[in-house]
Amino acid sequence: MSAKIMHKTWWGEKFVSALEAYIDPGRLQRGKAYRTDKRILDLQIDGSEIKATLRGNINPYFGVTKEPRYKVALKFEQISAQQWQAIIKSISGNAHWLSKLMLNEIPDNIEEVFSKGSLLPASYEDVRANCDCPDYCNPCKHIAGVYYRIANILDSKPMLLFQLRGLSPEKLHQELKKSELGQAFSEHLSLPESVAMEYQHYKYTPAYSKKSKKVPAINARQFWSMPADVHIIDENKQESAKLTSAWPDTQQNSDSITRISAALIKKQGDYPAFWTKNNSFIDAMELFYAHTRKKNNKDLF
Amino acid sequence: MQIIHLFWQQSSHEFNNSGCLYLWLEQAKKLNSSAAKQKHYYPYQAGEKVLSNWFTENFKHFLPNKLINKRMLPHAEIEALSVNLPCDQAKQPIPSPLIANLNDLNNSDYAGMAAFTLNTIKIEQPLAFLKELNFQSYYFADDLQLADDAKFWIKMATELSHMIKQDQYIPFIVAQKVKKKTYFYSQWQPLSAEYRQRLQQIAPLMPFSACLPDCALSENVQIDPLAVLQHFSEVLLNALICDTDYPQTLHKKLQDSFIENSLSLNQANISEQEWKSWRLWHNNLNYDQFGSPFYLCFRLNEASSSSGNDWSLEVLLQAKSDLSFMVNLADFWQEKSSKQAFFNSMLGSAIERNLLLQLGYACRIYPLLEQVFAQNMQQQRITITTEQAFAFLKEDAWALHACGYRISVPSWWTTSGRLKAKVKLRAAKKATAEEASGSSAATSYLSQEGLIDFNYRYAIGEHEVSAQEWQELIASKSELVHFRGQWVQLDPKEMARMQKLIESSQRDKRSGDLQDLLMMSANEEQYSVELDDTINAMLSNLKNREKLTLIAPPETLKAQLRPYQIRGLSWLNYLESLGMNPCLADDMGLGKTMQLISLLLHAPKQRAALLIAPTSVIGNWYKELQKFAPSIKATIHHGAKRTKQNDFKQLVADNDIIITSYGLIRKDKTLFKDISWSRLIIDEAQNIKNPTAAQTKVITSIKADSRFALTGTPIENRLMDLWSLFNFLNPGILGTRAAFRKEFEIPVQRDNDLHKTKILKNLVEPFILRRLKTDKNIIADLPEKVEQKVYCELSKEQASLYQSIVDEVEQSINETQETAEHKMIFLSALLRLKQCCNHPAQLLQDGSEFSVERSIKLQRLIELAGEAINNGESLLIFSQFKEVCDALQQLLKTQLGFNTYYLHGGTSRKKREQMIEQFQSENSPPAAFVLSLKAGGVGITLTKANHVIHFDRWWNPAVENQATDRAYRIGQQKTVFAHKFITLGTVEEKIDEMLEDKQKVADAIVGNDESWLSMLDGKSFIKLIQLRQQG
């Protein structure tokens, strides 16, 4: 199983394992290749239904001379509204789970609240899938491709699972708002999930700007000397604050402090959405920072 | 004089707006080449060739490595750039202050900016270059300096380096839209609240000259200093990464992600979706750094007993707006509904959301924190084990800290409070044979091998442990142990290393001298030194000078010592008695001379002492010895008529102290080296800062029982100077020149090694006493006004001119008997003698040079002024002669580059007020204000100055005091030092003596002006003016 796709998250892993038990190794292998943009031309998620268009293969042997398009449809077994209500209530009361969900993680013991069934489809039988390809077998490689694709999306957007199992976002918010903590989570989920494109006029922050705060030198000495600005207006204090020419003190960390590599980026977790690779983002960045430091150590103060 | 300037420039106003650092050399000498005659060419700069050669010679590693021609050696390429610089009405440039002063341009009125062409060199690796430049600046000759802009960029480079070393930057994508197409560029950008805050603090300090836009590119762009610093940081960060070679393994790990392109700054193939998901990630990091209204704080509470079963972690919320507001998480959780409005006002509106997010992130970093959620957040503390506590202290706390969480750990964990495993050194003084026999001759603790017994033990902090306990601790493998009531971190590896050290030391070094002891106690990290009572008393005296037993000022001293001077005397005496040679480095004006004279009186020696001083202060030393310690037989060994050969030995035998000048050291070295001196004293010790100079070598080779160095300038800044001084005082303490360079100079000056800096400081501190006028306990001891007489000799030329005037007067008096004519002769003679004492050029009025060599008085003035200004103090200089004032201010400004002001009878009222205002302004740099006594002696306030120099004397104390009071009046915050210059042996000295005696003489002959002099008869007058021989 050298080509086994390592799923980044445990739920992604578990999600595909439901499929993998129902498919022969050949289809599985080919199915994995169908999860990319090269094959999936279009993918729509509407409520708990998924519709995708895939690009098939020309196969003159079977009389297929024009590249075919196959349509795949997937629908997951629904969890009842009543059941959802109870589930959301217990999630809302669990700060630990909420904090994980906020960070786009599914708590590993969340299944505890799903008295009947589970959040993740336990078996392929919980999925109704079909494909219009000539393959008689279900799941076919196209279905498998879409399924793998969904697993990839779930890695970074686990809340999609709730939708796929029949809980609409509106309903989710409605239920969350019933408790204080749930309210906090609801607020978090309502934050814009995407951002608008921003374009820059310059590659680097431009050094010169049109509206400058700096008044021109008042005499030649000031032009050449530090500090150039002798008086700064402290906007908060509404009065002129005097600057000393002394450089502000650095709080030099003692060398006994353990250096923590790549601390800044670690906080947003491994596998950020833009990181589509399967190896660890943090691991790669740690290596990068370490090399940057090491190779330039002699040239840095 | 050359000044190194650096400026930053954005190289384009297009999208790709990279930037470069450029270097240029400003110089005092105006260029006169053909290039320099071109319009707009900046004249006060090094020409292309000079600049290129200078750079090539000093910064070989920074030359472009592309070789055009194999035979051509690499050399620095010059780029001519047009930039805006300040100019006057006539569009003539106004150079930087020092260069302007040297060219007498400081009065040019600033009229705006104009474009000038500069010869520049583009700096290839700015960060590495700035580090190298900083290192080299420690070795600059006196005629090479860094401009403020260059200093600014060096400081900026340290800030940027720090940011890079802390990994405080992230992958960054810039999107550009050209027509309808979008292009993406992947690069790097600083993202750190701390760094941004630093830049905001630093931006207002940036000199205008640190960023000069290219005039050819655009006119009238506005500079925003903060944006310049951001631009600089971004460009250099990206260039640094682009120039770094990364291994294949990294490329592989980053393959296919946009970050791989960031390594080479290539345009990246990025989709809008990818950009958006990156942007979201970036915004979240950004919010985390800058947006959240409170900090999450983790506090480790230590276990109460050695069982270690009650270590605990507490989670607290701390308001960013008021750091003193902290609330325990469980308390918050319980009260969040009842006190909602209050919490919202302190911690912001979305507390729960922020809290759950922050806690969630923290759990990722430190999974143990998940326990916080147990029991519905109702527990005040999470209990953890000793191992967990140690792991937290060692790793997790710092990981959390680096991610912006606040950490609170027990005080014993902080660097200052931490107990460490150390080698405990027990040192005990040996009873020596000499001591038994009562011989006191030259007991030098420093060089007596075997003087001190060393005994090495194991210790945890200050507590001694047995070898067995030590072994057990190593074997326990636990890194955090409860030891004698305290938790202690142990590093078994380090402990094993120390064990080896002790075992080998016990074999090799069972005894040593004080030097060994000092070296070991300077390294506090490794050694804990315990001493027997004798040595302990000694070392603690060295370290806590305030506790030194004071000795009584010598009764034979004809002066009153101030309390701090008694402390200084006691210290000098104590160090000498230990055979350790001290350096007295008190601030100017505190009376180093007096302290040393007191020592000579307190501990007289059989053999004579040798004092080496600059020519300009020899006379003063002699005079002060005579005045304050008449019992000491002193003589000056100087001038053409000085004693030679065999007579010198007799001279030494007849005197207690021989005063000579640095200038004679090499000429008369055999004389000096032949004698075994009791003491060798060097005044203005910065004269031996160059260890390779012949003069320094001779001085260090002169034999003496003890040595003393006096200096008023700080000596610890340039380590080579420090080494040279110690090589004179206590050779060996700092090791050989080469060892010192490797051990301290390079680590401290190049790499900013704080540990080494500390060891070095510990090592030299016992030998140097430096007190500043601004020290609290010194201020208390100082009166508000101190009058000092500054005695100088006449130069050879002055002496012969003086003699000829005296001869002439004598002749004229003999030729006529008329009193009225005598009166005229007297007054004219007095005037000419005063002029002669000031400077031959003033007397001769022949347009000859007002040079320093011709007048020792002038020499002394310049040294004094230089010392004051370098110390950041301003001074007033009074003379009654306008021509002297003219010449003085010209010299101070154009030869020394000092900032000067000049007030004389012809100064307009407006100009006068303008000058006073500028001089007094707090933002003006220290300056010398030259005033003619008549024009500036009354009315005005010049309290910025705290030194007043009376270059020549007005024989009326009231007039002089009134002049001094320009500085000594309401608004003055420092002690005012009035320095009255007097040439030795001349009429100046004699009248001064009469003035001093005035109170004693019932019917004062000394009046309010000089008219009383004309009452004298011819004989008395000749007696008054006759040159008295010195020494």
Measured between beta carbons, the chain A residues lying within 8 angstroms of B249 are: 287
pLDDT at res. B633: 95
Quick count: other Cβ atoms within 10 Å of Cβ B850? Answer: 21
Residue in A with minimal Cα distance to B111: A219
Contact pairs from chain A to chain B, CB under 8 Å:
323
| DSSP secondary structure letter of residue B662 | H
* C-alpha to C-alpha distance for B898 and B917, rounded to whole angstroms: 18
pLDDT at res. A215: 60
Question: For residue B631, what are its two tokens?
Answer: 């019992």
Residues B770-788: what's their mean pLDDT? 87
CA distance B40 to chain A (A): 17
- Contact criterion met (CB below 8 Å) for B559 and B743: no
Any A CB within 8 A of B202 CB: yes
A207 to B86: CB separation less than 8 angstroms, yes or no = no
pLDDT of A212 above 60: no
Residue A6: CB partners within 8 Å, gap ≥ 6?
A278
CA distance B281 to chain A (A): 7
pLDDT at res. B429: 67
The ipTM, to two decimals, is: 0.77
* C-alpha to C-alpha distance for B693 and B670, rounded to whole angstroms: 17
pLDDT at res. B584: 95
Measured between beta carbons, the chain A residues lying within 8 angstroms of B8 are: 207
Predicted confidence band of residue A243 (pLDDT cuts 50, 70, 90):
very low
- Contact criterion met (CB below 8 Å) for B963 and B937: yes
Q: Work out the widest C-alpha separation in chain A, in whole angstroms.
A: 88
pLDDT tens string B349-365: 878 888 888 888 888 88
Q: What angle separates helix B193-202 from helix B148-165, to the nearest 10 degrees?
A: 170
pLDDT tens string B673-721: 999 999 999 999 999 999 999 999 999 999 999 999 999 887 777 899 9
Residue A11 Cα to chain centre, angstroms: 14
Q: Look at A52-66, B342-356, B455-469, B734-748 and tell me which has the smallest mean pLDDT.
A: B455-469
- Contact criterion met (CB below 8 Å) for B248 and B263: no
Using CB atoms, pick whichever of B250, B280, B361 lies closest to residue A287: B250
Q: Work out the widest C-alpha separation in chain B, in whole angstroms.
A: 118
Residues B867-882: what's their mean pLDDT? 92
Question: For residue B335, what are its two tokens?
Answer: 């009260």
Interfacial B residues in 516-535 facing A (CB < 8 Å):
none
Environment class of A19 (CB within 10 Å of its CB; exposed 0-12, middle 13-18, buried 19+): buried
* C-alpha to C-alpha distance for A73 and B350, rounded to whole angstroms: 41
pLDDT of B437 above 70: no
Any A CB within 8 A of B419 CB: no
Using CB atoms, pick whichever of A198, A211, A220 lies closest to residue B94: A220
- Contact criterion met (CB below 8 Å) for B704 and B678: yes
Interfacial B residues in 904-923 facing A (CB < 8 Å):
922-923
A206 to B227: CB separation less than 8 angstroms, yes or no = yes
pLDDT of B27 above 90: yes
Quick count: other Cβ atoms within 10 Å of Cβ B73? Answer: 10
pLDDT tens string A28-69: 888 888 888 788 888 888 888 899 998 888 877 777 788 888
Q: CA B815 → CA A5, B806, B809, B811, B1027, distances in Å?
A: 123, 14, 10, 6, 21
**Which residues face B114 on adjacent strands?**
B85
A276 to B284: CB separation less than 8 angstroms, yes or no = no
pLDDT of B28 above 60: yes
Element (H, E) at B360: helix B351-365
pLDDT tens string B115-170: 999 999 999 899 999 999 999 998 888 889 999 999 999 999 999 998 998 888 99
B19 to A204: CB separation less than 8 angstroms, yes or no = yes
Question: For residue A164, what are its two tokens?
Answer: 């796929």
Helix (H, G, I), strand (E, B) or coil at B490: coil
Measured between beta carbons, the chain A residues lying within 8 angstroms of B89 are: none
Residue B485 region by backbone torsions, left for phi larger than 0, else alpha for psi between -120 and 50, else beta: left
CA distance A136 to chain B (A): 36
B222 to A198: CB separation less than 8 angstroms, yes or no = no
Element (H, E) at B695: helix B694-701
Using CB atoms, pick whichever of A187, A213, A222 lies closest to residue B350: A187
B125 to A180: CB separation less than 8 angstroms, yes or no = no
Using CB atoms, pick whichever of B169, B228, B254 lies closest to residue A284: B254
* C-alpha to C-alpha distance for B226 and A197, rounded to whole angstroms: 26
Environment class of B890 (CB within 10 Å of its CB; exposed 0-12, middle 13-18, buried 19+): middle
DSSP H helical segments within B706-753, as ranges?
Answer: 719-729, 737-740, 746-749
pLDDT of B474 above 80: no
Q: Look at B27-36, B184-193, B762-771, B929-938 and tell me which has the smallest mean pLDDT.
A: B27-36
Q: What is the 3-state secondary structure (H, E, C) of A189-213?
A: HHCCCCCCCCCCCCCCCCCEECCCC
Question: For residue B655, what are its two tokens?
Answer: 């005197």
| DSSP secondary structure letter of residue B458 | E
A274 to B223: CB separation less than 8 angstroms, yes or no = no
Using CB atoms, pick whichever of B205, B221, B752 lies closest to residue A208: B221
pLDDT at res. A232: 41
Any A CB within 8 A of B183 CB: no
pLDDT tens string B639-680: 878 888 788 999 999 999 999 999 999 999 999 999 999 999
- Contact criterion met (CB below 8 Å) for B7 and B212: yes
Question: For residue B596, what are its two tokens?
Answer: 């040393």
**Sequential DSSP letters for B257-298:** SHHHHHHHT-EE---HHHHHHHHHHHHHHHIIIII-SEEEEE
Residue A70: CB partners within 8 Å, gap ≥ 6?
A53, A54, A56, A131, A132, A133, A142
pLDDT of B1031 above 60: no
The residue with greater pLDDT, B868 or A227, is: B868
Residue B165 Cα to chain centre, angstroms: 27
> What dihedral do alpha carbons B670, B676, B681, B685 form, nearest 10°?
50
- Contact criterion met (CB below 8 Å) for B726 and B764: yes
Question: For residue B877, what are its two tokens?
Answer: 């200089």
A277 to B257: CB separation less than 8 angstroms, yes or no = yes
Query: pTM for the whole thing?
Result: 0.80
CA distance B276 to chain A (A): 6
Interfacial B residues in 373-392 facing A (CB < 8 Å):
373, 376-377
Residue in B with minimal Cα distance to A100: B360
A214 to B253: CB separation less than 8 angstroms, yes or no = no
**Sequential DSSP letters for A221-275:** HHHHSSSS--EEEETTTTEEEEPPSSPPPP-PPPTTSPPPTTHHHHTT-SS-TT-
A292 to B187: CB separation less than 8 angstroms, yes or no = no
* C-alpha to C-alpha distance for B749 and B742, rounded to whole angstroms: 11
- Contact criterion met (CB below 8 Å) for B478 and B386: yes
- Contact criterion met (CB below 8 Å) for B770 and B722: no
Question: For residue B744, what are its two tokens?
Answer: 């301290």
The one-letter amino acid code at A287 reads: L
Residue B636: CB partners within 8 Å, gap ≥ 6?
B618, B619, B622, B658, B659, B660, B1030, B1031
**Sequential DSSP letters for B543-594:** H-GGGSPPPPPPTT-SSPPPHHHHHHHHHHHHHHHTT---EE-PPTTS-HHH
